[in-house]
């Protein structure tokens, strides 16, 4: 009841985990089992020597829910560190999208012009299509895709968010 | 065959178990674990108790663990053997019981091939274990076992599964002793001293305080219970315990208000409702305890001490939290309290106690006695009176009988009360009692049961007989799934949909068929004699207590209601307005 009136905010959470079988399933199972939502999730090994992977999760919830999510993540045995990048000061957050646009004539020209504005690169070109690579904050990628819609958008592949805190300190 | 410095996986496994202090395994064999059973056959350091159903093996391990403070250990085969443990694992997770469950698995090269008796056990058990492992290399086996026991018993305890492919237990590998394994998992046990000092400040200034204490203090161990008792007595504050906390503080102490929550006492719930300072130690604000959340202890400053950060601010936002082990934090609380020469506010406390005494005078556990039918409360009270000097271990199934046991049996020490609180698993009590009796062969162990629950794991009577475990099964036979019937009477207009079984076994004959002793009482006048006879028999006994079929368990906080809206008995008008189930307690 009290929860309903509380503000819901989006948070980017970085999780350092042992790169072992099942660890991603544990994290995803935690979110689905407890009814938290995942807006974006990315994972890759970042420290091969110590066999550590970094999972970046974008989620949203009330203050209490976000607190729960972090504490629940910390309970998982293979989790080393959980850091709320949204709370811990300025951060850089990026994702990459590959955007396929097909068509000809004016629309083709317009697509190229917009790609230029967004500093998107054409990484594949045929007579009737482009694949653009666009990198940026989620909002920028969203905006680019939206602009491509009327210009013959056929397919999108996105990486999800990778994020890191600004400044010299590690996670 | 193994060479000089190498052992087989099965040898490594048993060696690791012995090094972890395991004395007994509750298990059931099958193809995938035959190499382990073969090794068991050749040794005599580890005892194996052959259960009749794998679910019972886990509950037995839980009973063993809860009554000793050690880790319980289970061994089952792959596929169906492993899937049969799921309810037990979920139960142990909900109640924070340390258990290590070894499951057989098909050989590694067959995993994923839908092989015979293959099930994805690490996948299936992920949400119902604290952690789980699939061992793929015999050289990793010893390390994994040591780590699993460490995880099961450290921090907030819980069940851990180790899945063991057959080739891993057959193949050669090297043993590593526990000393060579550095655990990565290190939960925080010491509380933040600044927060502890703040807590002392709040406690010393409290006017209407209450301690709300749970299973976490029992988890922490007998030392924590001692420190709790010492601290509560130093303050002179009232204390209430959750279902899982019973025994953490002596029930015979006048500071004890009884259990709180849905079927808790009037005085405990009203003290919670009216308190200005609540000191929660090792309890998790369960919905059966809080009632309607927006009316929960509305005027209180809340302190929460818990080893698991995720228990804090989960259901109820608190004002001060201390993450740490109950014993460590209590020790520091006492130190600071003494160093600062704190004193409770005597005048305020006196006024508070006089209100509490008024609530107590309600005598909320009172029931209409009868000389025609056996009242279930009467049966429990007599059981308590006639056994208390033997300091018995009490297990229960789930239902009304469980609540009556919690209300009318009184515990002065921890680890003597085994019940399924969080999952509410019917069928828990008998195998749990079996595990307790294995751990304490000389002790009096009683399973207070319902006639429906007991049938869920009744096959374990055979195990009791095989190992001469003289567990006493004390059935309050009301011919109904009483707790379900009660809800149907109070909330569903008396429509008793499927809560009555027309056919029950004759429990006396059934006991006989298993090779145990069966006794029956049908009138109040027979109760004492039957209990005495039960105690005199040095074998497993089933007592069929024919109790009043229509009795309901009170007090009760109806679903969606608050602590100050409890229903005291059948005449109470408050009963007619059960609240919305969304906000509070929902299920039976
Ligand atoms: C039919 C039925 C009716 C019920 N009615 C009631 C009722 O009326 N009243 C009631 O109380 N319950 C009732 N229950 C039980 C209820 O569902 C919960 O299981 C129970 O209330 C939880 O107890 P707890 O809060 O002590 O937590 P537990 O489940 O015992 O959890 C322990 C807490 O302590 C923490 N902890 C663990 N180890 C440590 C340590 N070393 N140091 C510090 N903290 C630690 C854990 O992190 C956890 O937060 C009922 C159950 C059933 C089946
Ligand atoms: C495995 C399982 N199934 C169903 C339930 C729901 N349930 C809770 S209490 C109860 C009735 C228990 O009846 P009985 O054992 O006779 O105990 P009584 O309430 O009559 O004392 C049921 C069906 C449960 N808790 N566990
Ligand atoms: Mg019954």
Q: What is residue A6's predicted lDDT score, i.e. its pLDDT?
A: 82
Going by C-alpha positions, the residue among B43, B101, B94, B104 that lies closest to residue B71 is B101
Q: Measuring CA to CA, which residue among B402, B404, B407 is closest to residue B240?
A: B407
CATH number of this structure's domain A91-164: 3.30.70.1150
Residues B272-301 as b or e (16 or more Cβ within 10 Å = b): bbbbbbbbbbbbbbbbbbbbbbebbbeebb
The reply to whether A21 touches chain B by the CB within 8 Å rule is yes
Residue ranges near ligand 3 (ion) with Cβ within 5 Å: B 450-451, 478, 482
The whole-number pLDDT of residue B584 equals 40
Tell which of A3, A76, A77 to mutate to test the B interface (max B CBs under 10 Å). A77
Mean pLDDT of B172-184: 94
Per-residue pLDDT at B513:
98
Confidence class for position B3, pLDDT limits 50, 70, 90: low
Which atom of ligand 1 is the closest one to the Cα of B219?
Answer: 38
Task: For residue range A10-61, list pLDDT tens digits in order.
Answer: 999 999 999 999 999 999 999 999 999 999 999 999 999 999 999 999 999 9
pLDDT at B114: 96
Asked if the model's pLDDT at residue A1 lies above 60, the reply is no
Task: Flag whether residue A75 sits within 8 Å of chain B, measured between CB atoms.
Answer: yes
Of B243, B303, B401, which is best to mutate to test ligand 1, by the most ligand atoms within 8 angstroms of its C-beta?
B243
Q: Assess contact for B397 and B428: CB atoms under 8 A.
A: yes
- pLDDT average, residue stretch B325-338: 98
**Domain residues of chain A, as ranges?**
9-84, 91-164
Q: What pLDDT does B573 receive?
A: 57
Q: What angle do CA B472, B475, B478 make, to 5 degrees?
A: 175
B429 CA from centroid of ligand 2 (Å): 12
pLDDT at B4: 58
Instruction: Give me the pLDDT at residue B2, please.
Output: 46
* Ligand minimally distant from the alpha carbon of residue B214: 1
State the pLDDT confidence band at B581, using cuts at 50, 70 and 90: very low
Please give the pLDDT value at position B27. Answer: 98
- pLDDT tops 50 at residue A2: no
Maximum Cα–Cα distance across chain B: 78
pLDDT at B582 over 60: no
Tell me the mean pLDDT in the region A63-80: 96
Q: Which residue has the tokens 């899945």?
A: B163
User: Which residue has better confidence, B272 or B582?
Assistant: B272
Residue B3 a catalytic site member: no
Question: pLDDT at position A171, please?
Answer: 87
B117 in catalytic set: yes
Nearest CA-CA distance, residue B29 and chain A, Å: 27
pLDDT tens for each residue of B223-253: 999 999 999 999 999 999 999 999 999 999 9
Cβ of B294 and A22 within 8 Å? no
Question: In whole angstroms, what is the distance from residue A16 CA to residue B491 CA?
Answer: 49
The rounded Å distance from CA A139 to ligand 1 centre is: 45
For residue B379 and ligand 1, the question of a CB distance below 6 A is answered with no
Q: Cα of B425 to ligand 2 centre, how many Å?
A: 8
Q: What pLDDT does B184 receive?
A: 87
Tokens of B9: 């996986």
Nearest CB among A21, A33, A71 relative to B310 is that of: A71
Q: A42: which 2 tokens?
A: 């990315």
Window 32-71 of B, Cβ < 8 Å to A: none
Chain A: nearest CA to B583, how far in angstroms? Answer: 8
Query: Smallest CA–CA separation between B146 and chain A, in Å?
Result: 14
Confirm whether A9-84 and A91-164 share one CATH topology.
Answer: yes
3 state SS of B184 = coil
Q: Give the ligand 1 atom nearest the CA of B285.
A: 25
Is residue B29 predicted with pLDDT exceeding 60?
Answer: yes
Please identify among residues 321-350 of chain B the ones whose CB lies closer than 8 Å to any CB of chain A: none
Confidence class for position B58, pLDDT limits 50, 70, 90: very high
Mean pLDDT across B329-333: 98
Rounded to two decimals, the pTM is: 0.96
Confidence of residue B418 (pLDDT cuts 50, 70, 90): very high
Per-chain mean pLDDT for chain B = 96
At the second CATH level, the architecture of A9-84 is 2-Layer Sandwich (3.30)
Structure tokens belonging to residue A107: 């629309």
Q: What is the pLDDT of residue B170?
A: 98
From B294's Cα to the closest Cα of chain A, the distance in A is 7
Three-state secondary-structure class, residue B60: helix
Give the β-pairing of B517-521 and B445-450: unpaired
Ligand 2: centre distance to CA B515 (Å): 26
DSSP class of B539: S
- pLDDT exceeds 70 at position B583: no
Give how far Cα B85 sits from Cα of B53, B91, B431, B438, B546, Å. Answer: 9, 10, 13, 20, 32
Mean per-residue pLDDT of chain A:
95
Q: Which residues of B209-224 are buried (b: 16+ CB within 10 A; e: fewer)?
A: bbbbbbbbbbbbbbeb
Residue B6's alpha-carbon distances to B19, B141, B147, in angstroms, are 17, 12, 21
- pLDDT-based confidence at residue B174 (cuts at 50, 70, 90): very high
Separation CA B119–CA B107 (nearest Å) = 12
Token couple for B473: 């099964």
What pLDDT, on a 0 to 100 scale, did the predictor assign at position B586? Answer: 42
- Chain B residues within 8 A of A74 when measuring between CB atoms: 309-310
Above 80 in pLDDT, residue B577? no
pLDDT at B5: 74
pLDDT of residue B576: 53
**Residue A153 pLDDT exceeds 80:** yes
Kindly report whether the peptide bond that precedes residue B174 is cis, defined as omega within 30 degrees of 0.
no
């Amino acid at each position: 009841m009290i929860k309903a009136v509380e503000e819901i905010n989006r948070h980017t959470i970085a999780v350092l985990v042992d790169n072992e079988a099942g660890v991603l399933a544990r994290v995803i199972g935690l979110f689905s089992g407890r009814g938290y939502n995942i807006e974006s999730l990315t994972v890759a090994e970042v420290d091969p020597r110590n066999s550590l992977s970094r999972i970046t999760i974008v989620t949203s919830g009330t203050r209490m829910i976000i607190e729960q999510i972090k504490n629940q993540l910390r309970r998982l045995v293979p989790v080393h560190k959980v850091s709320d990048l949204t709370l811990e000061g300025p951060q850089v957050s990026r994702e990459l999208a590959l955007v396929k646009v097909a068509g000809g004539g004016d629309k083709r020209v317009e697509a190229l012009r917009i790609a230029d504005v967004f500093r998107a690169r054409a990484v594949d070109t045929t007579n009737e299509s482009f694949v653009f690579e666009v990198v940026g904050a989620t909002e920028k990628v969203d905006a680019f895709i939206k602009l491509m819609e009327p210009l013959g958008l056929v397919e999108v592949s996105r990486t999800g968010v990778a994020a890191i805190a600004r400044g010299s300190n590690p996670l | 065959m193994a060479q000089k410095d190498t052992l087989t996986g099965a040898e490594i496994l048993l060696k690791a178990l012995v090094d972890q202090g395991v004395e007994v395994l509750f298990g059931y064999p099958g193809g995938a674990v035959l190499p382990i059973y073969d090794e068991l056959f050749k040794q005599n350091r580890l005892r194996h108790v052959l259960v009749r159903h794998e679910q019972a093996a886990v509950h037995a391990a839980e009973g063993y663990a809860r009554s000793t403070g050690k880790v319980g250990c289970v061994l089952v085969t792959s596929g169906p053997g492993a899937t049969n443990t799921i309810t037990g694992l979920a139960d142990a997770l909900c109640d924070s019981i340390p258990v290590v469950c070894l499951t057989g698995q098909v050989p590694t090269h067959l995993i994923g091939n839908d092989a015979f008796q293959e099930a994805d056990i690490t996948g299936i058990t992920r949400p119902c274990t604290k952690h789980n492992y699939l061992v793929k290399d015999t050289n990793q086996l010893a390390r994994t076992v040591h780590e699993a026991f460490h995880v099961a018993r450290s921090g907030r305890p819980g069940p851990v599964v180790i899945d063991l492919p057959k080739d891993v237990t057959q193949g050669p590998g090297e043993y590593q002793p526990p000393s060579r394994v550095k655990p990565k998992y290190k939960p925080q046990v010491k509380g933040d001293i600044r927060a502890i000092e703040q807590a002392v400040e709040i406690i010393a200034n409290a006017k209407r305080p209450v301690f709300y204490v749970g299973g976490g203090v029992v988890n922490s161990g007998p030392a924590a219970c001692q420190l709790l008792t010492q601290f509560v007595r130093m303050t002179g504050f009232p204390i209430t315990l959750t279902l899982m906390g019973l025994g953490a503080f002596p029930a015979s102490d006048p500071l004890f208000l009884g259990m709180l929550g849905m079927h808790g006492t009037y005085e405990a719930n009203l003290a919670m409702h009216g308190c200005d300072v609540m000191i929660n130690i090792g309890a998790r604000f369960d919905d059966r305890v809080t009632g309607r959340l927006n009316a929960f202890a509305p005027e209180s400053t809340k302190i929460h001490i818990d080893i698991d950060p995720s228990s804090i601010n989960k259901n109820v936002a608190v004002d001060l939290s201390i993450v740490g082990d109950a014993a460590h934090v209590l020790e520091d609380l006492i130190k600071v309290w003494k160093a600062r020469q704190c004193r409770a506010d005597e005048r305020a406390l006196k006024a508070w106690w006089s209100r509490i005494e008024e609530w107590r005078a309600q005598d909320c556990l009172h029931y209409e006695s009868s000389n025609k039918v056996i009242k279930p409360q009467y049966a429990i009270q007599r059981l308590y009176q006639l056994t208390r000097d033997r300091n018995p271990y009490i297990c229960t199934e789930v239902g009304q009988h469980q609540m009556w046991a919690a209300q009318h049996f009184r515990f002065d020490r921890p680890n003597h009360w085994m019940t399924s609180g969080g999952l509410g698993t019917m069928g828990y009590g008998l195998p749990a009692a079996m595990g307790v009796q294995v751990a304490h062969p000389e002790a009096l162990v009683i399973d207070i049961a319902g006639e429906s629950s007991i049938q869920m794991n009744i096959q374990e009577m055979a195990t009791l007989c095989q190992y001469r475990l003289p567990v006493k099964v004390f059935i309050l036979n009301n011919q109904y799934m009483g707790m379900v019937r009660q809800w149907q009477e109070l909330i569903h207009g008396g429509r008793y949909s499927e809560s009555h079984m027309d056919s029950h076994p004759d429990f006396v004959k059934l006991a006989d068929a298993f090779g145990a002793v069966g006794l029956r009482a049908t009138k109040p006048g027979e109760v004492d004699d039957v209990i005495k006879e039960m105690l005199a028999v040095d074998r497993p006994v089933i007592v069929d207590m024919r109790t009043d079929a229509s009795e309901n368990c009170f007090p009760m906080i109806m679903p969606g209601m608050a602590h100050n809206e409890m229903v005291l008995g059948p005449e109470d008008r408050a009963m007619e307005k059960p609240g919305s189930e969304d906000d509070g307690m929902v299920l039976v």
